[in-house]
C-alpha cells in the first residue's frame, strides 16, 4: 500500500477521529453578530464556510457535512433569535444526528 501524497489529510493523521465519528454527520455552525460584520468581514464568513471543506478533508463524505448559516447577523447574547443554534442544541441534547 502506497503512501498518501504529501499534504493529503487522512484519518491516520488524526487518530482521535474514529470510524464511528465519520458515520455521523458533521456540523459547521456559522455566525457573526451583526449584518454589518457579515458585509464588512466577508473573509470571516468565507473562512467559516470553508470549514465544511475541512470536514470533508478529514474524511466526512460531503453529503454528511451540514452547514447551519441561518444565524448570520444575529447577536450571540441570546439564543432567542438564533433558530439555527436552537435546532443544533436540541439535536445534540436529544442525541439526534444533525442531518
The length of the chain, given as a count of residues:
99
* 9-31 pLDDT tens trace: 555 678 888 889 999 999 999 88
Catalytic residue among 33, 52, 75, 93: 33
Q: Residue 1's pLDDT is what?
A: 42
Question: Scanning the structure block, which residue is given the C-alpha cell 464556510?
Answer: 49
Question: Scanning the structure block, which residue is given the C-alpha cell 482521535?
Answer: 16
Contact 79, 60 (CB under 8 A): no
Distance of CA 97 to the CA centre of its chain: 13
DSSP letters spanning 81-95: T-HHHHHHHHHHHTT
* 49-98 pLDDT tens trace: 999 999 999 999 999 999 998 888 878 777 777 888 888 888 888 887 76
| Domain edges within the chain | 24-93
Q: Give the Cα separation of 23 and 8 in Å (integer).
A: 21
33 is an active site residue: yes
Amino acid at each position: 500500500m502506497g503512501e498518501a501524497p504529501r499534504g493529503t489529510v487522512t484519518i491516520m493523521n488524526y487518530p482521535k477521529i474514529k470510524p464511528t465519528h465519520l458515520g455521523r454527520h458533521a456540523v459547521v455552525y456559522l455566525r457573526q453578530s451583526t449584518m454589518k460584520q457579515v458585509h464588512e468581514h466577508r473573509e470571516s464568513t468565507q473562512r467559516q464556510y470553508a470549514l465544511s471543506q475541512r470536514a470533508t478533508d478529514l474524511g466526512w463524505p460531503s453529503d454528511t457535512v451540514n452547514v447551519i448559516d441561518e444565524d448570520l447577523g444575529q447577536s450571540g447574547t441570546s439564543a432567542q433569535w438564533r433558530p439555527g443554534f436552537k435546532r443544533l442544541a436540541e439535536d445534540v441534547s436529544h442525541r439526534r444526528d444533525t442531518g
